[in-house]
Amino acid sequence: MTVNAIPVVDFLEKSQSQLIVDVRSPIEFFKGHLPNAVNIPLFEDSERAEIGTLYKQQGKDTAVNRGLEIVSPKMTSFVNQVRTLATNKQVFVYCFRGGMRSNSFAWLMNTSGLNACIMKGGYKAFRNYVLDYFSYKKNLILLGGKTGSGKTDILKKLNAMSLQTLDLEKLAHHKGSAFGAINEQKQQPQQAFEHQLYSELSVLNSMQPIIIEDESKSIGFNKIPQNLWEQMKQATIIKLEIPFELRVQKLVDDYTTVDIEALKLCVVKIAQQLGSLNTKLCLHYLDEKNLSDVARLSLLYYDKAYEFSYKKKKQPIIQLSSDTIDATINALKVKEIINTLN
């Protein structure tokens, strides 16, 4: 039975709301996979390593025979898993290159009465497609502002106002600063982050404004893809100017329920930048649960670094001053500017 192999674009379009099965090993899947794919590995990590060694040392035939020995007892389980997960008989399958693993799995599904097709070129083709996608021109507008300006809250309000937004920090599970990992999920591997980013961007209209936060290239250990980063460096920035004490209060509100010891660890991370005296003061204030003064000292460092970074920017910057931290009011002001830009 011939297995139907379709190009990446068709695979992504036709597999929407359908079962997508990644048959690579768990470690391959962990490093990166198609959004919404489930992992039904043909081989476990150790099995894949064993077959790879056999292939190198004894040749293809020996490796294939060993692969058949490993897979044969699993075949019924594979079929049962897919039948349980599929909303209909349709299933979309891929491996790394669209080779033996996905072809074998899809053949088994078709033989069992299901309707399976594979991705031509496999995961490798999808990776190239995603990386190319980030180079396509997008109408980006950056929302800037010093730490504590409430940019994430404003993005949420803009989204509620039917504007297109993309929350990079949410996708990265990190707020970008030394305190950024607090109350966040564990960050994903780089490829997985890029695929989620692609998934969010691909449903937006690239011709219409897409508002994202003005980030540095690294958000925790995730990095903005280079082609998208180059576009961000040219995009217009709407730079919020919020009074210092309002930003202090915003940080206090955001971190008031955070464990003090976790905050201490974050302070230590920026000890060199804060200086010995300010670091000691911050740790002392944390012992006293005096978050306001910790925020003030931290903002002195972050504000200085922020202004230094802005001196190097070459794209258009629109200043937006506000005397409130209210996200709805500030979102309306941002929206007015975006309408003017349009």
| Ranges of H-type helices in 112-259 | 122-133, 151-160, 168-172, 190-202, 226-232, 244-255
Res. 116: pLDDT tops 90: yes
Quick one: CA torsion of 101, 107, 112, 117, rounded to 10 degrees?
Answer: 90
Sheet strands side by side (includes 90-94): 4-6, 115-119, 90-94, 19-22, 38-39
Domain 4-131's class? alpha beta
Q: Using one digit for the tens of pLDDT, what is the confidence trace for 279-320?
A: 999 999 999 999 999 999 999 888 998 888 888 899 999 999
The CATH T-level fold of domain 136-341 is Rossmann fold (3.40.50)
Q: Give CA–CA dist 324/246, Å, rounded.
A: 7
Q: Give CA–CA dist 327/254, Å, rounded.
A: 14
Tell me the percentage of the chain whose pLDDT exceeds 90: 77
pLDDT of residue 64: 82
DSSP assigned state of 59: -
Higher pLDDT, 63 or 328: 328
Q: Which of 95, 117, 266, 282 is catalytic?
A: 95
- Whether 136-341 and 4-131 are alike in CATH topology: the answer is no
Phi-psi category of 61—alpha, beta or left, where left has phi over 0 and alpha has psi -120 to 50? alpha
Q: Using one digit for the tens of pLDDT, what is the confidence trace for 65-87?
A: 888 888 888 899 999 999 999 98
Helix-, strand-, coil-residue percentages of the chain, each rounded to 5: 55, 15, 30
Q: Give CA–CA dist 207/74, Å, rounded.
A: 48
DSSP assigned state of 217: S
Higher pLDDT, 61 or 81: 81
pTM of the predicted structure, to 2 decimals: 0.88
pLDDT band at 62 (very low <50, low <70, confident <90, very high): confident
Q: Strand locations in the chain, DSSP E?
A: 4-6, 19-22, 38-39, 90-94, 115-119, 140-145, 164-166, 210-213, 218-219, 222-223, 236-241, 317-321
Would you state the structure tokens that stand for residue 299, as one six-digit string? Answer: 């903002």
pLDDT band at 1 (very low <50, low <70, confident <90, very high): low
pLDDT of residue 130: 97
Q: Using one digit for the tens of pLDDT, what is the confidence trace for 175-231?
A: 888 787 888 889 999 999 999 999 999 999 999 999 999 999 999 999 999 999 999
Please spell the DSSP secondary structure of 174-197, one letter per residue.
--SSTTTTTT-PPPPPHHHHHHHH
pLDDT of residue 56: 85
Average pLDDT, the chain: 93
pLDDT of residue 26: 96
Q: Give CA–CA dist 331/139, Å, rounded.
A: 19
Instruction: Determine whether 95 is an active site residue.
Output: yes
Res. 19: pLDDT tops 80: yes
| C-beta neighbour count of 289 within 10 angstroms | 9
pLDDT of residue 69: 86
Domain spans in the chain, listed from the N-terminal domain onward? 4-131, 136-341
Helix (H) or strand (E) run with residue 286 in it: helix 276-287
Res. 258: pLDDT tops 70: yes
Would you state the structure tokens that stand for residue 326, as one six-digit string? Answer: 């209210």
DSSP assigned state of 239: E
